[in-house]
Amino acid sequence: MSAVVEVWRGAVVESRHRVSVAVCDAGGRLRARAGDPRLVAFARSAVKPIQALALVAEGVAERFELTGPELALCCGSHSGEPRHVEAARSLLQKAGAGEEALACGPHPPLGAAAAEELRERGLEPTRLHNNCSGKHAGMLCLARIRGWSLVGYHRPEHPVQQRVLAEIARWTAVPADEIQTAVDGCGVVTFALPLSAMAGAFARLAAAARRGEPDAALVVQSMMRNPEYVAGTDRLCTELMRVADGRIFAKVGAEGVYCAGVPGAELGIALKVEDGAMRAAEPALLGVLRALNLLSDEEMAALERFAAPEIRNTRDEVVGQIRTEMTLEPADG
């Protein structure tokens, strides 16, 4: 079966984005699919919750008494809002490091209001405003607790990245020596994985959290109880977890990647918009969740602005809409 996100202008389809989807259970079995469920793609920021598991497993959360918002920020791609900057700064303080230790470069906040506030104050964005600063600060905490050098923590050969790779291999069930890597936009390692492996990892994480396994439960609960730290104001990761009220956790990745876990059903979802268009990723994820009957009509209505975004021109007139055609094929194995 196929999944496509269409961009309509007036009554004409102007563009189409093809999407591949994998839905797996905690045993790694493929339960539903669209396009190529074994498409290999860089997971990018979608696997931050798995990367954060390495911190928890090594005792970082306990030793440094990480708060729920701080751990959620380690899992997140935040909007650079003041609360996000403060949480990242707190993580750095716990690591005994300054902002200069962060390997991620500065960029304007992803949140429009946060970016505008900086401009109005005549301030330049800092590394703390980088949407990945929580992940980086968490990695510095890991280096500190293990007595590893803080310098070069982002490089593939550093023990921090080797430890994270081991965690990725564990949850995806892909041997570490078979995982291709490259450099992510924030400077750390990113992992090329089949969509089915990403979906399997989120299903295993969902199942482990539901069973009450401490590390998995802590990571998942931090995300679902503090969704505003996983993304930010008017972002889908945040709003979906609020609307689903503890039934779904989700994480976006660059280049059209999205992953989600469903503890109640012990399912994992991974998708890739094959041309990398981010405008198609949010409608695609909601299309998958609706096709799986994981969101009610009322919940979909609350998320309509993400499911079918309006297209506006420079006069702020509605001139089109983004729509999803999602048909999932049942699969077994």
pLDDT digits (tens, 9 = 90+) for 245-258: 999 999 999 999 99
Give the Cα separation of 166 and 153 in Å (integer): 15
pLDDT digits (tens, 9 = 90+) for 257-296: 999 999 999 999 999 999 999 999 999 999 999 999 999 9
Give the Cα separation of 228 and 238 in Å (integer): 5
Give the three-state DSSP class for 183.
strand
Give the Cα separation of 70 and 73 in Å (integer): 5
CB 23 within 8 A of CB 292: yes
Task: Report the interhelical angle of 82-95 vs 133-146 (nearest 10°).
Answer: 10
Position 242 confidence tier, pLDDT thresholds 50, 70, 90? very high
Task: Identify the DSSP state of 265.
Answer: T
Q: Which run of H or E residues covers position 288?
A: helix 278-291
CB 205 within 8 A of CB 221: no
The stretch 205-219 carries a mean pLDDT of 98
Walk me through the domains of the chain, giving residue ranges and CATH numbers: 3-330 (3.40.710)
Is the predicted pLDDT of residue 332 greater than 80, yes or no? Answer: no
Position 1 confidence tier, pLDDT thresholds 50, 70, 90? low
What confidence score (pLDDT) does residue 2 get?
Answer: 78
